[in-house]
Amino acid sequence: MAWKPNASAPLWDPPIADEAQGPFFPEMAIEHSKQIGPSCVATTLAMIARATGEEATVESFKQATNSQSPHSWSNALKPYGLQLAYCNHDLRRIEHYIDELVALDDLFLVSFYSVDPPSDPDENGKLCTAHIVTLHKDTIYDTAKHSGSGGMTIAHDYARLERQTKRIFRVVPLGHPRCV
């Protein structure tokens, strides 16, 4: 049999053996938060943590995380019974996989480049600005916007679907075998 590389993969591989497949948080009620300054990661994580019914502040997440270290994000969510799991992804624009994410009917963090990324970083080592939003079921929560003006929107109507993906995470229960 001649093996060929497979150029595509689902965003979330099917579960192996008796691995829980989700959706993990169908009843979670998320209340939109508007970020202050460049704090999309900390604000997003605090917003999700508060949805567990616990107290959580943006400041506590700023202190517990590095905005460029998803491992620190996942660790900071542990006290709330949550962790992050990487999803398969590439540099595709969000519009090319939003249907697949919505069909999974769960809780995701989607990080994307704010402008078309260059192939090389600038003299400071920065590629370009990025942003992160929360997708819960079919709703996107964007902390950069007020809830009434694009901060909460149906995923297919989100104004930035043309942006290229940086990272995608599924929020999973603490201890899930795919956690970061």
**Per-residue model confidence as pLDDT tens digits over 11-40:** 999 888 888 888 999 999 999 999 999 999
Q: Is the previous residue joined to 23 through a cis bond, with omega within 30 degrees of 0?
A: yes
Going 130 to 117 to 68 to 84, the CA torsion angle's sign is positive
CATH class for the region spanning 40-173:
alpha beta
Mean pLDDT confidence for 51-75:
96
Q: What is the mean pLDDT of residues 57-70?
A: 96
What residues does each domain of the chain span? 40-173
Supply the pTM of this predicted model. Answer: 0.92
State the CB neighbour count (10 A cutoff) for residue 8: 6
